[in-house]
Structure 1
Amino acid sequence: MDPLYLAMSLYRRRKYDDCVKICSQLLEKNPYDQASWSLKTRALTAQVYVDEVDVDEEGIAEMIMDDNAIAQVARPGTSLKKPGTGQGGPSAGIRPMSQSGRPLSGFVRPGTQSGRPGTMEQAIRTPRTAHTARPVTSASGRFVRLGTASMLSTPDGPFINLARLNFSKYAARPNLAKALFEYIFHHENDVRNALQLAALATEACQFKDWWWKVQLGKCYYRLGMYREAEQQFKSALKQQEMVDIYLYLSKVYVRLDQPLTAIEICKQGLEKFPGETTMLTCIARIYEGLMDMINAVKYYKDVLKCDNTHIEAIACIANHHFYSDQPEIALRFYRRLLQMGVYNSELFNNIGLCCFYSQQYDMTLSCFERALSLANDDNSTADVWYNIGHVALGIGDTNLGYQCFRLAISSNNDHAEAYNNLGALELRKGRIEQARAFFQSAQSLSPHMFEPHFNYASLCDQIGDLQSSYNSAQRAVSAYNDHCDSKDLLKQLKKHFALL
């Protein structure tokens, strides 16, 4: 069999390592074999390819040094940075929030578990993904290599040496330029050289190729030049209407903190591509970020009308029903996920909570036991123990609840909610100093939560420290107001503290 044909067959079957080996052998015999060189480039790219439409995580630099904000005080319901002004529905006050004030979604995706910290210390300490314990950076987990492309392949050196490339020559050859661009952009993560190649190729094709304009927009977006990216995507959209271009453009507006414009772009795309689940999901995510759960659930249901196996839509609808005091309905959605083959710790944890609140106690502990056995990291284990502690408190076993919260802290020493609940239990026992320590730990770990401030204010009020009580109450109101209307909390504060 012809080795090049075999390599192409391996590439189509996604056996990229074997494909690269065969291409390398062919290049050793003939270093100027363009077909083998192009195929090897595509295979190396496919090994590390990440869809830029869906994967996007704000790094520390973007969080702290964001100079793209237009209005410091946005109108209610128009900013993702202050989403608490949206229409959160009845569950807005009790739904867990990220540090940015966004409600935690029912489905883990970039940007939902980490928030926008206010200080560099918080940025270094708090933003983490489910897969890593280190702070998230702009590289999104990819390795930035030194220069690696030339047509001449050597066994000891890099496959491609970017420093020796004549980009003008490659830009004039579309059959090689596109493969080379994707290799530089995805495999080498060298955005500046990729931008140079894309600019020369766009000029070589007399600005008539929409694909190169999209690549220019992606490079500008990665470099933080959002207005330039917006211009390229709009120009590409005039030449060729594609689903990806609408999604790229909506990402630009989300990063510019213009969520309503992003929603409008997706709606325009739905007029051209009716029933496109990716755009419906994009709209639902933005509404969820604005805490407009009514519209978010509406669009998630539209997603399920077009694709009834969409895991994210099912999980987010179930999450909404649970926090809307409808655990029986949420349980039906989670059971649907179980029937679809989703089998992980988080799902059994949620099913256990739904069973508990719908008074199906015989299933509750068995679901939590299954969740503990499937937990693959310390954060998941801590969350499961924390929820078991809540179940223990619900049945009146405070000793078991105390031990569960202790186990949660032993698994994850930064679990602020467990510290807060331990402080509440210690305060109930009259152990003032221990309760004070737990509340202060919770405040330092999660300053965006209002519960530790409220509880600490109550503790200070009991011991007669009115000034500290007043200051903590003010911080509680401030943190609560970032999430939703603080009238309910103010009523509770007035009941507890005569000074307010």
Structure 2
Amino acid sequence: MDYLKLILICIYDVDVLVEAAWCLKLRALTEMVYVDEIDVDQEGIAEMMLDENAIAQVARPGTSLKVPGTSQGGGPSQAVRPVTQTGRPLTGFVRPSTQGGRPGTIEQAIKTPRTAHTARPMTSASGRYVRLGTASMLTNPDGPFINISKLNLNNYAEKPKLAKALFEYIFHHENDVKNALDLAAYATQLVQFKDWWWKVQIGKCYYRLGLYREAETQFKSALRQQDMVDTILYLTKVYSRLDQPLTALNVFKQGLDRFPGEVSFICGIARIHEEMNNISAAAECYKDVLKQDNTHVEAIACIGSNHFYSDQPEIALRFYRRLLQMGIYNSQLFNNLGLCCFYAQQYDLILSSFERALSLAESEEEAADVWYNLGHVAVGIGDINLAYQCFKLTLANNNDHAEAYNNLAVLEMQKGRIEQARVFLQTASLIAPHMYEPHFNFAVLSDKVGDLQRSYVAAQKSQEVFPEHVDTQQLINQLKQHFARL
């Protein structure tokens, strides 16, 4: 009997060791491809077309993320601060979904070209998930580490520690949301719906599947059992996807009542204000972020960008120098430093900053932005030939740079090359339909050559994009008066 007990103990220990090694490998493989689901949120054309959630087509002003310019919060106008193709002002920090935004209609999303670098509605988040799902085949040439279809999920759900590791492996590494949801459902039933962690995981699965109302229910239930910062952030993601920014703001404020001074909540409020074009309120929130964490890169960058577009380059320069002191060393930062030095009349540092930005550029798009800003500096000092060459180099690095096409058209108009300017403006309007400058310049060009009807149509397009543009309004009034005299 003693030998039998010893053998049973040894067998049990071996099983425990095998499970421990198996769990360790699950954790390791998951960490290889782990992505924080809180920050990653990119809506593509596939998600928009397959979304069955009913949302108001005509939202009240200041209550929707879909309609650009609905907020009355103030801040730099579109004439001063550039915007993306979706009408959102460019921020000082590139985050998931800040450049893409939400086109107003499916037709607009389809018309937006794939090659545009300021908005990417054609890019589907599901493509990233599919790429993550191929990680298992790359890990082992003979196939995946675990054949999910042959697992009895009920048995694994009875082992809490192993079940959690297995869920994260299936969800993140294999991208098998259905089986991950089944495992989470079995596990939460076994614990009698008392484990908040499993409810959060079920909510994540629902969110990935596009079942936002079901995800909202799970996250709310988890919050009733346990107050967690991540759960609140997941819940606000649901409301943002449902186009309910005011509800998301209320959730953030309730979270601040329970977690005073939480930086992620204040930063989330600032992001929503930015998406609603309420730049002044966003800047105040970023200042509150810096009161809690004075090394927060996103807050420093966004405040610096806001000061720059508010005609305060000296103050913006201080914020960008702070980022440089913190150890951030990239092309974008030196690009911004060069612009701030130019507008702050610190001419001795301009060229050295742009040279450093060019040397640190990791892609052609980054180099194109540096050459574009160098073209602006050349225009500012009156060297038109240098500006023309800089804008040409911009297009050599990025053939879809709408701003460079627009500025080249203006230079061609000054030289009297009407046809070349017309081609540049038409290209710019096709690449960036939500920029008002190509439409307005095309209207001015058509007016000069006597094509008043085409000028009026282009001016109306410019007014649709930017209704407050005074020059467009004056041009339309002049054209109307001329038509009245005919």
> What TM-score results when the alignment is normalised by the length of structure 1?
0.88
Match of 2:473 in 1: 490
Match of 2:6 in 1: none
Amino acid at match of 2:149: A
Query: Within 2, Cα distance between the matches of 1:129 and 1:438?
Result: 18
1:70 is displaced (CA, Å) by 1.9
Amino acid at match of 2:22: W
Match of 1:125 in 2: 114
Match of 2:366 in 1: 380
CA separation of 1:220/1:488 partners in 2, compared to 1, >3 Å: closer, same or farther?
farther
CA separation of 1:436/1:247 partners in 2, compared to 1, >3 Å: closer, same or farther?
same
- Indicate which of 38, 58, 61 corresponds to 1:53: 38
- Indicate which of 404, 414, 437 corresponds to 1:418: 404
Q: Which moved more, 1:52-61 or 1:313-322?
A: 52-61
Q: 4+ runs of 1 displaced by more than 6 Å?
A: 29-32, 146-149
CA separation of 1:276/1:492 partners in 2, compared to 1, >3 Å: closer, same or farther?
farther
1:136 is displaced (CA, Å) by 4.7
Query: Within 1, Cα distance between the matches of 2:432 and 2:329?
Result: 30
Aligned length: 465
Match of 1:474 in 2: 460
- Indicate which of 74, 77, 85 corresponds to 2:70: 85
- Indicate which of 323, 332, 347 corresponds to 1:361: 347
Match of 1:17 in 2: none
Match of 2:61 in 1: 76
1:97 is displaced (CA, Å) by 1.1
5+ residue gaps, structure 2, are: 1-13
CA separation of 1:477/1:102 partners in 2, compared to 1, >3 Å: closer, same or farther?
same
Deviations 1:275-309 (A, max 9, x none): 11011111110001111111101110111011000
1:158 is displaced (CA, Å) by 2.4
Q: Is 1:44 aligned to 2:29, yes or no?
A: yes
Deviations 1:41-66 (A, max 9, x none): 01111111111111211122124444
After superposition, residues 149-298 of structure 1 pair within 5 angstroms as 156-298=142-284
Where 1:143 maps in the other structure, the secondary structure is helix
Checking the alignment, whether the CA contact within 8 Å between 2:26 and 2:169 is kept in structure 1 is yes
Query: Within 2, Cα distance between the matches of 1:462 and 1:148?
Result: 62
1:110 is displaced (CA, Å) by 0.2
5+ residue gaps, structure 1, are: 1-28
Query: Within 2, Cα distance between the matches of 1:147 and 1:194?
Result: 17
Checking the alignment, whether the CA contact within 8 Å between 1:113 and 1:129 is kept in structure 2 is yes
Aligned-pair identity (%): 63
Match of 2:3 in 1: none
Amino acid at match of 1:294: S
Query: Within 1, Cα distance between the matches of 2:408 and 2:271?
Result: 34
Checking the alignment, whether the CA contact within 8 Å between 2:132 and 2:172 is kept in structure 1 is no
Where 2:400 maps in the other structure, the secondary structure is coil
Amino acid at match of 1:456: F
Deviations 1:290-342 (A, max 9, x none): 11111101110111011000000000000000011111110000000000001
Checking the alignment, whether the CA contact within 8 Å between 1:60 and 1:124 is kept in structure 2 is no
> What TM-score results when the alignment is normalised by the length of structure 2?
0.90
Match of 1:15 in 2: none
1:155 is displaced (CA, Å) by 8.9
Deviations 1:430-480 (A, max 9, x none): 111000000001011111111000000111111111111111111111111
- Indicate which of 108, 130, 143 corresponds to 2:131: 143
CA separation of 1:448/1:57 partners in 2, compared to 1, >3 Å: closer, same or farther?
same
Match of 1:437 in 2: 423
Match of 1:113 in 2: 99
CA separation of 1:156/1:66 partners in 2, compared to 1, >3 Å: closer, same or farther?
closer
CA separation of 1:155/1:393 partners in 2, compared to 1, >3 Å: closer, same or farther?
closer
Checking the alignment, whether the CA contact within 8 Å between 1:147 and 1:162 is kept in structure 2 is no
Checking the alignment, whether the CA contact within 8 Å between 2:184 and 2:202 is kept in structure 1 is yes
RMSD, matched Cα: 2.5
Q: Is 1:451 aligned to 2:451, yes or no?
A: no
Checking the alignment, whether the CA contact within 8 Å between 1:220 and 1:229 is kept in structure 2 is yes
Deviations 1:383-424 (A, max 9, x none): 111111011111111111111000000000000100011011
Amino acid at match of 2:226: Q
1:121 is displaced (CA, Å) by 3.9
- Indicate which of 317, 321, 327 corresponds to 1:335: 321
CA separation of 1:493/1:372 partners in 2, compared to 1, >3 Å: closer, same or farther?
farther
Where 1:138 maps in the other structure, the secondary structure is helix
CA separation of 1:229/1:97 partners in 2, compared to 1, >3 Å: closer, same or farther?
same
Query: Within 2, Cα distance between the matches of 1:51 and 1:145?
Result: 16
Where 1:203 maps in the other structure, the secondary structure is helix
